[in-house]
C-alpha cells in the first residue's frame, strides 16, 4: 500500500438503481468519473466491481453516506454502510465512508456548467457525484 497522500482511491456514490464510481488520486486531490454500475435494489454486479479493483488496484475505497440534511441517518444510509462493508470483505481493502450531503447537487451544477441539460444523464450525475465525494474526502484528510 502506498503511503497516505499518494494513494489511489475508488469512490462510490451508492444508490439502489445505480452506483456512481470515480477513481481519485490523493497526490492531486482530483478524481475522474468512471462508468456507473447498474444495481438491482442496491446490489451491483460484483464481477464488474471486482474488475474495477483489478484495473485500478486502489489502496482504499470511499463510499458516500447519504444522510438527511440534519445529519441523521435514513434507510439508504444503512444500505450504503452495508455496501461499504461488503467492499471491505470481498476486496480486502480499507473502506472509508464520507458524508455525501449535496454531492448530487454539486455534480449537477458542474455538469450543467460543462454542457447544459444534455450533460445531466443519470449515469453521469452519479459518477460525477462520486468525484465530488472523493474531492470532499481528500480535502478533509489533510486539514
Q: What pLDDT score does 111 carry? A: 52
pTM for this prediction? 0.83
Residue 95: is its pLDDT beyond 80? yes
Q: Residue 139: which residues within 8 A CB-CB, separation 6 or more?
A: 29
Local confidence band at 103 (pLDDT 50, 70, 90 cut-offs): low
Q: Helices in 24-121 by DSSP H: which ranges?
A: 46-56, 75-91, 103-115
Least confident of 72-81, 117-126, 127-136: 117-126
pLDDT, tens only, 13-44? 998 999 999 999 998 888 888 999 999 999 99
- Spatial separation of the C-alpha atoms in residues 29 and 49, rounded to whole Å: 23
Amino acid at each position: 500500500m502506498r503511503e497516505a497522500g499518494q494513494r489511489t482511491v475508488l469512490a462510490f456514490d451508492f444508490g439502489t438503481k445505480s452506483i456512481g464510481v470515480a477513481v481519485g488520486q490523493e497526490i492531486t486531490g482530483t478524481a475522474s468519473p468512471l462508468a456507473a454500475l447498474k444495481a438491482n435494489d442496491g446490489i451491483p454486479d460484483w464481477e464488474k466491481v471486482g474488475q474495477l479493483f483489478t484495473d485500478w488496484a486502489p489502496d482504499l475505497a470511499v463510499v458516500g453516506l447519504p444522510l438527511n440534511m440534519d445529519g441523521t441517518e435514513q434507510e439508504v444510509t444503512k444500505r450504503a454502510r452495508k455496501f461499504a462493508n461488503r467492499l471491505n470483505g470481498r476486496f480486502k481493502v480499507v473502506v472509508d465512508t464520507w458524508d455525501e450531503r449535496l454531492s448530487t447537487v454539486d455534480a449537477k451544477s458542474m455538469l450543467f456548467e460543462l454542457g447544459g441539460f444534455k450533460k445531466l444523464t443519470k449515469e453521469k450525475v452519479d459518477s460525477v457525484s462520486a468525484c465530488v465525494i472523493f474531492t470532499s474526502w481528500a480535502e478533509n484528510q489533510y486539514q
